[in-house]
Amino acid sequence: MNTLSSFTALDSNPLSKPRSLGPHHHEPIHLQRPRNVVVCSVKPSVAPPSSLRVSGSPNQGLSRIESLTQVSGVLGCQWGDEGKGKLVDILAQHFDIVARCQGGANAGHTIYNAEGKKFALHLVPSGILNEETLCVIGNGVVVHLPGLFREIDGLESNGVSCKGRILVSDRAHLLFDFHQVVDGLREYELAKSFIGTTKRGIGPCYSNKVIRNGIRVSDLRHMDTFPQKLDLLLSDAASRFQGFDYGPHVLKEEVEKYKRFAERLEPFIADTVFVVNEAISEKKKILVEGGQATMLDIDFGTYPFVTSSTPSAGGICTGLGIAPRVLGNLVGVVKAYTTRVGSGPFPTEILDKGGDLLRFAGQEFGTTTGRPRRCGWLDIAALKYCCQINGFSSLNLTKLDVLSDLPEIQLGVAYKQIDGTPIKSFPADLRDLEQLKVEYEVLPGWKSDISSVRNYSDLPKAARQYVERIEELVGIPVHYIGVGPGRDALIYK
């Protein structure tokens, strides 16, 4: 290991891209029961519709969106990859500002423009495809400048103008290539206990932030002191990890590179705390886009198999510098089943070939890394826990179309201890999570392609029963239902 570039392989994707089945392809799949089933109660039908049920129509959808509060947010309810970017892209047409409040390039949001062209975003907020939307990267985000510029270049080359439309907080911390190196080395040290990070350097960057020796965007305006600060970070990494070769030549190369970056970034830098709060006082509408999801929250997720930021509601205020009282509607995005990437407990996971079949049907491979996601049934117990933490006003149920052709669908409705004692809260202890049993309900499948359905009433009865049972169990209405990746593949309920 001679230079920083020696470590770039640690951040590469070892997997070849999966075979594409197409956005609406469905093969009949028969999934095995998870390893930790305790009860399966068959529910061929659900109770009469509750007051949460609302019939859907395009006009209903417009009314739903326009009724969202001045400051609204879209947050993930599981372990990420729920499809938040698509909803943000759709809602952005009705908001003045879309803002990211936490995370970094470990968040991957896939969106499609009106012509169906695919965009994979990591740092740029998902409102960028809407020409009138200002995109803000808040102080809570860690920013990898090479990655940000690649995204901007990619957008510009595809006809998406970014000039004057992206603001980067002067308080945001800079994530350097060496942070990615450290991330990979740290995972290697952990061996079988590895976290399963994206190796994008997020944790090491936040570590520097918390121990107060990080470098912020505003430091790029002071190139007289920048070299000393960067030298401190690199020297610390070299002393911590054997084989991390660091010398004056490395520092010189990095400083020269960041002088060029500083010049290019200058038009994007802003005091976003001031910008966002001024927009609030001017009655402009702001949509907050969360990265990752609540089950990866540093405090509330399945620690230590979590991210290093706060992707739950609390991260909005600290990551943008806005007061809690201005927050209004928060929409929780939940997949019609459950996935997670990396290590950690996963109570409703489907093992063996059953999980593989669901993975390929849903094309469950990471936007950022291409890694295959672990797959399982929808975990209602975890979803209720996320809803309690965030106070969601409504839910967006995504990828309902992926469950088409299943003869039956299971819902993990409750947790129990080995002796059958009910578990009322989501356990903090990893041992408890690994040992608990899941109580399942079995609902009928609908065995038909729903990707072209746009009105809720046109969904098969079994699909509507599934949606309404989720509402009944969680106590929060499902206002948006995704039935495909495209912008128009959304049902308003």
Would you say 406 and 350 are in contact if contact means Cβ atoms under 8 Å apart? no
- DSSP per-residue string spanning 85-131: HHHHHHHGGG-SEEEE-SB-TT--EEEE-TT--EEEESSS-TTTTST
Is 370 marked within a binding site?
yes
Give the number of other Cβ atoms within 10 Å of residue 120's Cβ: 13
- Among candidate residues 26, 109, 437, 479, the one labeled active-site is 109
Q: Is 482 annotated as a binding residue?
A: yes
Residue 423 bridge partners (DSSP): 415
Q: Which of these is catalytic: 209, 285, 437, 479?
A: 209
Nearest to 117 by CA among 154, 84, 65: 154
Look up 94 and say whether it is catalytic.
no
User: Is 401 known to sit in a ligand binding site?
Assistant: yes
81 assigned to a ligand binding site: yes
106 is annotated as contributing to ligand binding: yes
Alpha-carbon torsion angle 491, 451, 399, 102, nearest 10: -60
Token readout for 134 is: 């200002």
> Residue 356 annotated as binding?
no
Q: What letters, b where the CB count within 10 A reaches 16 and e where it falls short, cover 137-156? A: bbbbbbbbbebbeebbeebe
369 is in an annotated binding site: yes
**Is 125 annotated as contributing to ligand binding?**
no
Neighbours of 245 (CB within 10 A): 12
CA–CA separation, 363 vs 402, rounded Å?
9
Q: Please indicate whether residue 109 is annotated as part of the active site.
A: yes
> Is 247 marked as a binding-site residue?
no
110 marked ligand binding residue: yes
> What's the Rg (C-alpha) of the chain?
23
Q: Is residue 250 annotated as involved in ligand binding?
A: no
> What is the rounded end-to-end Cα distance, in angstroms, of the chain?
56
The reply to whether 292 sits in an annotated binding site is yes
Q: Which residue type is seen at 321?
A: G
Question: Annotation-wise, does 133 bind a ligand?
Answer: no
Coil, helix or strand at residue 442 = strand
User: How many separate helices (H) and strands (E) can be counted in the chain?
Assistant: 13, 21
Q: Is residue 367 part of an annotated ligand binding site?
A: yes
Active-site choice (26, 81, 170, 183)? 81
Residue 177 annotated to the active site = no
Q: Is 486 annotated as a binding residue?
A: no
The residues that are catalytic are 81, 109, 209
Binding-site positions for Mg(2+) = 81, 108
Binding-site positions = 80-86, 106-110, 198, 212, 292, 307, 367-373, 399-401, 482-484
Binding-site positions for substrate = 367-373
Binding-site positions for GTP = 80-86, 108-110, 373, 399-401, 482-484
Binding-site positions for IMP = 81-84, 106-109, 198, 212, 292, 307, 371
